[in-house]
């Protein structure tokens, strides 16, 4: 059964739900804990067939000129613009993020489409000076093959778009295994892409974009398949380690976008008005369920007693509730296991002398089966072991510091290395933080929070975050293979390094 609202949204987005209905995968709305739809899962042979189709599509698509490939992505961007409101609302209903963030997620898809369209005319290689007379060296970038995308529940559609928009202009086909918690948004995105394909015409081969509905097993099967030339996996570090092992065994490429444990340092010279806004958005946005969520706050001793009481006041008044309502800033946790994980981390923090403020369950009328919480602030005596773990919920630990070196050490001490930031107006501190001896994260910001990245930069992090980079800058190179070509236009055959080999 699907609710009338969901049916209306899906029909606006061009989804034929009958093609997917079944009893294996249940899309449950975090808003009220009620089912949105029940779907079938692809069998192992269906997964295989989808990869076969995607591989055949890649063999054709790689020969279509890149700017023409860009035209398909442009058309897809147009579909997203037309249907932004409906897809954004569906994201809110299935993932539970507030409507502003649901819409923001779709905007991010539009932005990466725009980026990829421009990129489709800029897949540049270099020319390189040859040491041999009458020779020329150059490099070219060719499509890599079938890209397998595995995505997490918290960014149910943007992550696919970051990968797919680049992959398509690079000449690859894409097989997508979305989170089993958010299949409907994936199906809707696929339907919008197919609308763009229909407008684009016959240059787009059947199988260019395939979607696999299923759980971990389907993801694992995809990762094992030798025809997948690049696995781009977003999710927990636990998942990433499993995927990395399989890919290492078959020596295939990966882009791993895994857990984060992001910190902010608030220095004595910080603009506290700005810092307060940045902290709150970064720590409680998406109810603390962003990979870039602010989880650790290091506050200088001299401003601690000004900043922390202000944060408590703000936290106490945060509107927690139905994410479809305009005034809500904090929506629900995704499910019961997320709530349990939050409560057990808070219990451990208490046992480590943490002072917990907030963190209790909030009752939202009509949504009794859902899990709403007041975001938690936890004042810690120092950085303890529990702070080394990512709990995917709105818990922000706060620790006093007196020495910047100490705060930077704490920033870097955890296993994860995704995002980080400093609030300071002292140029020396800012430069130090982003220098080689500063933050060890893939993202290091000054005077903005650690979350809410733009698509123009390469996105990803180090250590247990997996080391992958996607989205902007030169992340496109991961979706292509580089060939180095040497041309000899002379009448001789000199060997490199001056080697003499006369026959
Ligand atoms: P998850 O690891 O439970 O699941 C993510 C995806 O991996 C799902 O599609 C799942 O079916 C699949 N999967 C799980 N095990 C697999 C296996 N062995 N082989 C193949 N596929 C497998 O993560 P989640 O709970 O959906 O998302 C939350 C996590 O994702 C957090 O740790 C968060 O930090 C991380 N995340 C990271 C980024 C980033 O860009 N670094 C972005 C979003 C989320």
Is the Cβ–Cβ distance between 322 and 365 less than 8 Å? Answer: no
pLDDT of residue 320: 98
The confidence score (pLDDT) of residue 53 equals 98
Is the beta carbon of 258 within 6 A of some atom in ligand 1? yes
C-alpha 288/C-alpha 392 separation (Å) is 7
Q: What is the average pLDDT value for the chain, to the nearest integer?
A: 97
| CA gap 245, 207 in Å, rounded | 28
Distance in Å, CA 143 to ligand 1 centroid: 26
First to last CA, the chain: 78
Distance 361 CA to ligand 1 centre (A): 25
Closest residue CA from atom 26 of ligand 1: 152
Long-range contacts of range 278-283, CB-CB < 8 Å, 24 or more positions apart?
278/421, 278/423, 278/447, 278/448, 278/449, 279/311, 279/396, 279/449, 280/311, 280/314, 280/315, 280/318, 281/449, 281/451, 281/452, 282/421, 282/449, 282/450, 282/451, 282/452, 283/375, 283/394, 283/396
Active-site residue (options: 79, 105, 257, 429): 257
CA angle at 9 for the pair 7 and 12, rounded to the nearest 5°: 105
| Residue 243 Cβ < 6 Å to ligand 1 | yes
465 CB within 6 A, ligand 1? yes
The residue nearest atom 39 of ligand 1, judged by CA position, is 257
Residue 49 Cβ < 6 Å to ligand 1:
no
- Catalytic residue status for 368: no
Distance 236 CA to ligand 1 centre (A): 4
ipTM of the complex: 0.98
Which atom in ligand 1 lies closest to the alpha carbon of residue 470? 40
User: What confidence score (pLDDT) does residue 5 get?
Assistant: 86
Residues 308-327: tens digit of each pLDDT: 999 999 999 999 999 999 99
**Alpha carbons 30 and 91: distance in angstroms, whole number:** 11
Q: Is 470 in the pocket of ligand 1 (CB under 6 A)?
A: no
Contact criterion met (CB below 8 Å) for 496 and 131? yes
Is the CB of 418 within 6 Å of ligand 1?
yes
3-state secondary structure of 96: coil
Question: 29 is written with which tokens?
Answer: 């709305």
Measure Cα distances from 71 to 64, 108, 459 in Å: 11, 18, 24
Residue nearest to atom 30 of ligand 1 (CA): 235
Q: State which residues of the chain have pLDDT below 70.
A: 1-2
* Ligand 1 mutation target, pool 236, 248, 256, 461, most atoms within 8 A of CB: 236
Q: Is the shortest distance between the CB of 154 and ligand 1 below 6 Å?
A: yes
239 Cα to the center of ligand 1, angstroms: 6
Q: Is 33 in the pocket of ligand 1 (CB under 6 A)?
A: no
Report how far ligand 1's centroid is from the alpha carbon of 338 (Å): 14
Please tell me the distance between residue 233's alpha carbon and the centre of ligand 1 in angstroms.
7
Whether 390 lines ligand 1, by a CB cut-off of 6 Å, is yes
Q: Closest ligand 1 atom to the C-alpha of 179? A: 9
Q: Separation of 462 CA from ligand 1 center, angstroms?
A: 16
Q: How far apart are CA 382 and CA 387, in angstroms?
A: 10
Residue 266 near ligand 1, beta carbon < 6 Å = no
């Amino acid at each position: 059964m699907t609710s009338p609202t969901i049916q209306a949204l899906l029909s606006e987005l061009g989804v034929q739900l009958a093609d997917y209905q079944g009893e294996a995968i249940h899309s449950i709305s975090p808003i009220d804990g009620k089912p949105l739809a029940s779907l079938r899962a692809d069998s192992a042979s269906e997964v295989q067939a989808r990869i076969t189709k995607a591989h055949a599509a890649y063999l054709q698509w790689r020969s279509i000129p890149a700017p023409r490939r860009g035209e398909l992505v442009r058309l897809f961007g147009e579909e997203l613009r037309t249907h932004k409101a409906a897809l954004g609302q569906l994201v809110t209903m299935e993932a539970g993020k507030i409507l502003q963030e649901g819409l923001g997620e779709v905007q991010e898809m539009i932005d990466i489409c725009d980026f990829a369209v421009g990129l489709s005319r800029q897949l540049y290689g270099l020319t390189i000076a040859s040491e041999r007379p009458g020779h020329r060296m150059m490099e070219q970038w060719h499509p890599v093959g079938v890209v397998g995308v595995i995505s997490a529940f918290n960014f149910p559609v943007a992550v696919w778009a970051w990968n797919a928009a680049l992959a398509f202009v690079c000449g690859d086909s894409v097989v997508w295994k979305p989170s089993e918690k958010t299949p409907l948004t994936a199906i809707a995105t696929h339907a919008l892409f197919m609308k763009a394909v229909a407008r684009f015409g016959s240059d787009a081969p059947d199988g260019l974009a395939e979607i696999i509905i299923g759980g971990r097993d389907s993801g694992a099967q995809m990762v094992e398949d030798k025809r997948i030339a690049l696995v781009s996996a977003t999710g927990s570090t636990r998942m990433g380690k499993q995927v990395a092992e399989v890919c290492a065994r078959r020596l295939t490429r990966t882009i791993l976008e895994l857990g984060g444990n992001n910190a902010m340092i608030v220095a004595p010279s910080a603009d506290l008005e700005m810092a307060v806004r940045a902290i709150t958005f970064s720590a409680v946005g998406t109810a603390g369920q962003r990979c870039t969520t602010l989880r650790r706050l290091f506050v200088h001793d001299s401003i601690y007693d000004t900043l922390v009481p202000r944060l408590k006041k703000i936290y106490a008044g945060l509107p927690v509730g139905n994410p479809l309502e305009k005034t809500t800033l904090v929506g629900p946790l995704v499910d019961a296991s997320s709530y349990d994980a939050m409560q057990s981390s808070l219990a451990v923090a208490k046992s480590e002398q943490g002072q917990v403020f907030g963190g209790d369950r909030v009752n939202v009328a009509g949504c009794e089966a859902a899990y709403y919480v007041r975001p938690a602030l936890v004042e810690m005596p120092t950085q303890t072991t529990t702070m080394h773990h990512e709990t995917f919920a709105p818990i922000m630990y706060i620790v006093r510091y007196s020495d910047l070196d100490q705060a930077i050490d704490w920033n870097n001490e955890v296993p994860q290395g995704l995002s980080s930031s400093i609030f300071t107006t002292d140029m020396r501190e800012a430069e130090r933080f982003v220098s080689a001896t500063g933050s060890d994260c893939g993202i290091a910001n000054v005077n903005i929070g650690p979350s809410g990245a733009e698509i123009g930069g390469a996105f990803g992090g180090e250590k247990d975050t997996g080391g992958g980079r996607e989205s902007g800058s030169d992340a496109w190179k991961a979706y292509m293979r580089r060939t180095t070509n040497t041309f000899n236009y002379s009448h001789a055959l000199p060997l490199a390094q001056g080697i003499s080999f006369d026959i």
